Chain A
Amino acid sequence: MTWRSPLALVRDALQGQRARERELRSLVSNLPYEGQEKGKQPNRFFLSNAIKTTKYSLLLFLPMNLYEQFHRLANLYFVGLAILNFIPVVNAFQPEVALIPICVIMLLTALKDGWEDFRRYQSDRKVNNTPCFVYSRREKQYVERRWKDVRVGDFVRVVSNEIVPADLLLLYSSDPNGVCHLETANLDGETNLKQRIVVSGLGAANLGFEPESFNSTVVCERPNSNLNHFKCFVEKPDKDKVGASIESLLLRGCTVRNTNHAVGFVVYAGHETKAMLNNNGSRYKRSKLEQKLNVDVFFCLILLFAMCLIGAFGHYLWLESLPGVPSFLVPDSNGHLDVPSLESFYMFFTMIILLQILIPISLYVSIELVKVGQIFFITNDIDLYDEETDSRVQCRALNITEDLGQIEYVFSDKTGTLTENKMVFRRCSVMGTEYPHKENAIRLDVIDEPESEEEVIFNQHQQLPRSRWSLEAEDISPPDTQRHGRRRKSKVAANAHSDAAFSSPLETEVIPDQKLLQQISRAESSGGRRDGNRSFDPHLDFFLALAICNTVVVSAENAHRQRVSLQSRSNSPLQNIRKCQGLFRKFSVKECTSPQSSQMRNPLETFSSLVKKAGAFFQRDKRNRTLSEDPVIDSAKTEDEADANRLRTCSLHAPSQNGSTIVEAEELCYEAESPDEAALVYAARAYGFILLARTPDSVTVRLPSGEDLVFEVLDTLTFDSNRKRMSVLVRHPVTKDYVLYTKGADYSIMELLGTPYAENFSGTEKNIAADTQYHLDCYAKEGLRTLCITKKVVSESTCQSWLGERKRAQAAMECREELIMQTAVQLETNLTLLGATGIEDRLQEKVPDTIVALREAGIHVWVLTGDKPETAVNIGYACRLLEEEDLVINMSCKNKVTCTAILDCTLEEVRRYRDDPRNAGTTQNISLVIDGNTLDMAKSPDLQERFVELTKHCRSVLCCRVTPLQKSAVVKLVREKLKVMTLAVGDGANDVNMIQAADVGIGISGQEGMQAVMASDFAISRFKHLKKLVLVHGHWCYTRLANMIIYFFYKNVAYVNLLFWYQFFCGFTATTMIDYWLMIFFNLFFTSTPPIMFGIFDKDVSVEVLQGVPELYRTGQGKGEYNFLTFWIAILDAFYQSLVCFFIPYLAYQDSDVDLFTFGTPLNTAALFTILLHLGIEIKSWTLVHWIIMLGSVALYFIVTLAYTATCVTCNPPSNPYWILQNQMADPMFYLIVTLCTVVALLPRYTFHVLKNSVAPSPLLQGRQLDRMDPSTRDQWIKEWRG
């Protein structure tokens, strides 16, 4: 590199700075400048692709790490003390010795930091040196380079299964449609494949791509961290601009799939890539306990100050009281004695040095160690391990484990958190007619049963009258049990990878409703004759809409990702699924065609008798009370009978009809961004409308007749949370009509409806919208997710003009979103209602159980959902958030006045109830249901006090139709107003705000990607894990840590006070009666491990009892075990114990010839035993580890002290502990004194514990007593206790 003037360098740097800060960046290809010096490179100002996530460099590690460490107040205090030691007039000990503890602590921290940084460095190096292919002009081909050598403006080629090295603008794809499939799991955890499209209009995309011919300028926005958003346009030499969005961006860290190779232009590199901008490490949260702890440290500081003042003042009085200058008073080196006041001023500082360990500096290090241990045990808990996803609980925030034990409010998302987020098509309504899909419902219930129940069903089925269908079924049935085994296995296997493809049979299999099937085949057959008119049958349109109006990507099974294909090779789950699904089909068909109509009239009944043993079925039925009373079903029932004849014919037809197509269609895998869409596509497939392929420009659908139709897709109006709907504009290949299919939330669709679908149905004209709305309400009551499906035929002229407008909106750089949204709204009017679907989002396993447990633990549970109130309330009952006997307050008001009135009214009511003496013993369980609008009003400043007051009385609260922002606002409101510990749990991106707003954020790693997990403090895989995590681990972590901290304070105060009392007998001259080294060792080695072990291992109550009696959790809530009282009791006890440990030896050695260290040794030993046995009283369960560490600490004390006093003759000049302990241990008095001290010191605490345990046993003690019983008695006990 040639020499450049510093001025030029500065100018360059400034230029670079400006270039990076600019709103828009213009990038050109690097190729024309290849090989030229750096100053000539056009993109030299932008960051290179090398990343560096390390905090320190080798040279600067020491100063930077020290700087970081000194940011901690505690360390600063310690260093201040060390400096104080070096001031000659105050030094009490050898300054070098005083430095040891701080050095040890800082060294440990530095080692930890260094190791972490080294790990980061290694991973950086690995990433930076990953090979990739960059085009080189010189060699006229793609050459291998390292990731770190990639620069903005380069052309990078990526091949299938390769990781994208930088953010690339996709310019070429080997796919003929210009599509590149991308797996973004590394980035957001979403495992479905995403399509990326080549920037259109850049010449012949299909003829291969010549990087050298690329002479356009890429103008893109400044880098930002939004993964779903990217604005850019490519300006061709002829000034023509082509817009590009996130659809054309390959993100760094993602994996290319299903695409042979693709070429991209590097727009962002290194730290400017979206992946890196999103990667902002783990957060530091301060736990509530630590905040309280800091207050108490402050109290200790005051105590220290007071003691030092007493020391200084005492020294003054002592000096004053001396009549002359005795020989023990040592003047300074000049033979000059300071005046008493000055001496005592110096003494104040000397006292600080002497009593410094009153501030438990080692406490902070110990807490960190304890938390590491606690996290180790949490993450290793096998109960929190999820088989299906092979994931453990993750602790992302390392320092708030104990907050889990103090939770008072839980805020939960519904979808994906309480429910599986595995969408199952349940029922639908087409043209105002309800199709209940009973067989499908039965199948789903069957699938739920454990294996044994399945057995029952299949055995039963063989006893059924032998119709031709059951005969046909025979060839499959013989090895029944074997099949079950396989089926189960396949279910597990499929579940294990369900995140990849939503391919569990639960979701993919839909048994068609016979009546609807019949309806379709009728339309189909009639349509077959009149070809041109076919699509006008609304039933067909309905399913076409289901198949078309989505963003589901179809991928062939064999081309699927490695993971899945590997799996299928090993035990071919898909095959198994297919087999059993065939079985189901036949089974169900036989079921409804059976001539035994008396039995068959009500299939629900039949089945409940079949699975009588299961019980779960009944429970389920009871839970969904509305189901059995559902008028829809009742009405359908009667129709059933009437249709019996037709049913038979139809079912004869159905399997054969499906059979031909399904074989082929089975090979397809649907990958959807939202599971709802997949469920709908699978439902359409069940009816023979099979989505075969989707490219950006076209959708191929196979009709029941076996005919493949290719629809030209003109535009896709993607879903957004404002519109709450999505649309696809297609051109019908036969009729050549422009059709807009829209699906969305009922309330967003209903108001957009135009004239009813009447033209073709003049004979049976009815108010479809009203009927459908009624069905929708029924669905919602049942807890189903509802979607409305509509259609709109657009005239060609409207369509063309709209498309033009749309294009302009998409190319706009300014407020593009608003424009796009506007165009969407513009088109989505005057829709024609086709029907509605009800999709079930099934509750996760053990959710009701978990919620009940949380409630019993005194935790207020709030569920915040975007669903409709009806759906939400139903789910609320199903998951036992709401109970039958609860008083449910429903708040849904249109304006603020009513809102205020209702609020006042209910509050008054609640208060009256509470104040009524008759209700003193009883507690009414109040629950509140509130919708988003009302919530907004209630949150307004003038009402929020009242609202919070009301919610305080509510055991559970259900908020419906809330936005992500509202979710976090609610959490913040409760957290700030009530000053309580809050926990938020959610799984989706919409829960991120809430998770971050709460004290403890828990992410559920489910189907909706990793954003929630990224933002969370703990990540679990199932909602049910929350129970053990909070009730058991939370409780343990909290009690352990709380007791350890109290103990730590006690320990330091007790020990330091020994020194303090001695000051009264040495003229307050800061003399120690214990050797300095031994004093430092005492805290650093002899008594440090037991409390850490206590904080990690102690177990007050067993898992079984904590889970069986969630009420025990309440002990940790609010003030908990670590509070003002317990802290001061510990301090007082410390004072008492130190008094005992000092004055018993004092009185025993009074008027004797005892020397200084001989006097100190029994004191030190008694303190050791007292402090350790004090912990022994506190330890609730003694495992081998406890014994080893406790006995080890005692042994260490004696070994180290004996070794030290045996070797140190003149090693530590002023003090001279030679042979002291040996001498003492030969003296029986030593043992007598130590025993007496220990017993007297611990007697009050011990007695107190004993008396309290018998007079007023704490709940925790009762819990421990339960532990000692055998399990059956225990269960009995728990029941009685509850009662």
Chain B
Amino acid sequence: MVKEEQEESSNRPDNTAFTQQRLPAWQPILSASIVIPMFLLIGAAFIGVGVALFITSRDIQLQELDYTGDDSEHPCFKCRTNTEKCTCSMTFSIPTLFKGPVFFYYGLTNYFQNQRKYGASKDDNQLYGDLNYFTSPSTDCDPYTRDSKNMPIVPCGALANSMFNDTFTLSHTVNGVQKIVPLDGKGIAWWTDYNIKYRNPSITPLINAFNGTKKPTNWPKPIYELDTTDVYNNGFINQDFLVWMRRAALPDFRKLYRRITHDDYAAGLPAGNYTLTIAYNYPVHSFNGKKKVVLSNVSWMGGKNDFLGIAYIVVGSMCVVMSVVMLIVYARFKFAEDV
């Protein structure tokens, strides 16, 4: 209410470029001189990248073997409904050298590892080796927290419980003799998973840590017996377990099973006949799924995928076409700035 005597012109706004909205500005107008070369440039670059991607992808060799056994002629058909341990084998031939290192994947289709509740059904703290969560796992794992005798399950949850448990052996027929191809199970999981996210409790022997807990109901053996030969591949840091626990993004997925990097096969799989022997355990008929084995070598861009290369080429071509269209438009209408 009290009126203060004010300096003369105290109310005058500051005359700065900012307050007067006169900041120097770049005002691009999309015009021919910019757009046509730009489109051409992008087009050329994209076509270049696309061709490189396409060639790389084309060079990648891929061998897929469906072993679901839906077809009654299929050697694994017998195992399809068999709940007991069942083994089947398939033969295939590789016509030319399959360049190494060869990656050995197993694949599932129509399996929704990305289902929301399924993905949440685990206990990260338990998997981090926190013993407190061994005896009382998180309720996230329900109903796979405790077994019927109310014993806590370790590792709990649907994700762990549903771990893929088919096993494979690959043998090369050399001069009529089956020669086992050595499969390397190390380094198939993420380094961070193996070293940071998952940890075994620091109790030796490992089995003692699991006193008073139960194995997941679907598992044939407890987690501390996943790989009894290698203490660094056992328990929560078992590489197969880690691979499974990293949820696939899409319902049709493959997961790395082994790499072929040893002995004679370090340079790749030579041409010839091979036999794949499958210990068929994992049921897929409940979700109309398929199981397969994929042999592939990888490049800098990962596995075989023609899409990206084609897409780059198409988009690049479109850009070139657009620049031509622009040129026509330019000739026809002229850009206002050049009038």
Instruction: Say if A and B assemble together.
Output: yes
Q: Which residues of A pack against B, CB within 8 Å?
A: 92, 126-127, 130, 163, 186, 253, 255, 321-335, 377, 379-382, 385, 387, 390-392, 1065-1067, 1069-1071, 1073, 1097, 1099, 1103, 1144, 1146-1156, 1158-1160, 1180-1186, 1209-1210, 1213-1214, 1216, 1218-1219, 1223, 1227-1229, 1232-1233, 1236, 1239-1240, 1243, 1246-1247, 1249-1251, 1253-1255, 1257, 1261-1262, 1264-1265, 1267-1268
B114 touches A1156 (CB 8 A): yes
- Bound form: Cα–Cα A85–B119 in Å: 18
Residue of A nearest to B255 (CB): A1153
Residue of B nearest to A123 (CB): B1
Residue of A nearest to B246 (CB): A1155
The segment from B16-24, B178-186, B230-238 that touches chain A is: B16-24
A1236 touches B254 (CB 8 A): no
With a CB–CB cut-off of 8 A, which chain B residues contact A1264?
Answer: 27, 29
- Besides A392-B13, A1183-B25, 4 more A-B contacts (Cβ < 8 Å) are A253-B1, A1069-B117, A1153-B303, A1232-B49
Q: Which of B28, B252, B329 contacts A1150 (CB 8 A)?
A: B252
Within 8 A of A (CB), among B103-142: 105, 107, 111-125, 128, 138-140, 142
Q: Which residues of B pack against A, CB within 8 Å?
A: 1-3, 6, 8-15, 19-21, 23-32, 35, 42, 46, 49, 53, 105, 107, 111-125, 128, 138-140, 142-143, 158, 161-162, 190, 192, 196-197, 218, 246-256, 285-289, 300-303, 305, 307-308, 311-312, 315, 318-319, 322, 326, 329-330, 333-337
With A130-B1, A387-B9 already in contact, the answer to whether A328 and B311 are too (CB < 8 A) is no
B311 touches A1236 (CB 8 A): yes
Min C-beta distance of B90 to chain A, whole Å? 20
Min C-beta distance of A784 to chain B, whole Å? 35
Q: Which of B25, B120, B311 contacts A1144 (CB 8 A)?
A: B311
A1240 touches B253 (CB 8 A): no
B29 touches A1099 (CB 8 A): no
- Bound form: Cα–Cα A1151–B162 in Å: 21
Min C-beta distance of B85 to chain A, whole Å? 18
With a CB–CB cut-off of 8 A, which chain A residues contact B1?
Answer: 126-127, 130, 163, 186, 253
B35 touches A328 (CB 8 A): no
With a CB–CB cut-off of 8 A, which chain A residues contact B140?
Answer: 1213-1214
Min C-beta distance of B94 to chain A, whole Å? 20
B192 touches A1219 (CB 8 A): yes
- Bound form: Cα–Cα A1158–B2 in Å: 65
Q: Which of A1103, A1181, A1253, A1265 contacts B26 (CB 8 A)?
A: A1181
Q: Which of A1148, A1218, A1250 contacts B196 (CB 8 A)?
A: A1218
B305 touches A1153 (CB 8 A): no
With a CB–CB cut-off of 8 A, which chain A residues contact B6?
Answer: 390
With a CB–CB cut-off of 8 A, which chain B residues contact A1184?
Answer: 23-24
A1265 touches B336 (CB 8 A): yes
With a CB–CB cut-off of 8 A, which chain B residues contact A1239?
Answer: 42, 46, 315
With a CB–CB cut-off of 8 A, which chain A residues contact B9?
Answer: 387, 390
A–B Cβ pairs within 8 angstroms, 19 of them: A130-B1, A255-B3, A322-B286, A328-B158, A328-B162, A381-B13, A390-B9, A390-B12, A1067-B112, A1147-B311, A1152-B302, A1155-B246, A1182-B26, A1184-B24, A1229-B301, A1253-B335, A1254-B326, A1264-B27, A1268-B29
With a CB–CB cut-off of 8 A, which chain B residues contact A1213?
Answer: 120, 123-125, 138, 140
The 5 closest A-B pairs by CB, nearest first: A324-B286, A1159-B249, A327-B162, A333-B142, A326-B287
With a CB–CB cut-off of 8 A, which chain B residues contact A1250?
Answer: 30, 35, 326
With a CB–CB cut-off of 8 A, which chain B residues contact A327?
Answer: 158, 161-162, 218, 286
B20 touches A380 (CB 8 A): yes
Residue of A nearest to B117 (CB): A330
Q: Which of B2, B26, B250, B329 contacts A1159 (CB 8 A)?
A: B250
- Bound form: Cα–Cα A212–B155 in Å: 94
Of B13, B252, B288, chain A has the most CB atoms within 10 Å of the CB of B13
- Bound form: Cα–Cα A342–B25 in Å: 58
B287 touches A1154 (CB 8 A): no
With A390-B9, A1250-B35 already in contact, the answer to whether A1218 and B192 are too (CB < 8 A) is yes
Min C-beta distance of B28 to chain A, whole Å? 7
- Bound form: Cα–Cα A1153–B259 in Å: 14
- Bound form: Cα–Cα A335–B158 in Å: 11
B25 touches A1099 (CB 8 A): yes
A1218 touches B197 (CB 8 A): yes
- Bound form: Cα–Cα A764–B290 in Å: 124
With A392-B13, A1153-B254, A1250-B35 already in contact, the answer to whether A323 and B288 are too (CB < 8 A) is yes
With a CB–CB cut-off of 8 A, which chain B residues contact A1255?
Answer: 329, 333
B247 touches A1155 (CB 8 A): yes
With a CB–CB cut-off of 8 A, which chain A residues contact B307?
Answer: 1147-1148, 1150
A1152 touches B118 (CB 8 A): no
- Bound form: Cα–Cα A1154–B196 in Å: 20
With A322-B286, A1253-B29 already in contact, the answer to whether A1152 and B303 are too (CB < 8 A) is yes
Min C-beta distance of A1022 to chain B, whole Å? 15
Min C-beta distance of B4 to chain A, whole Å? 12
B115 touches A1069 (CB 8 A): yes
Q: Which of B20, B120, B329 contacts A1254 (CB 8 A)?
A: B329
Q: Which of B31, B123, B315 contacts A1236 (CB 8 A)?
A: B315
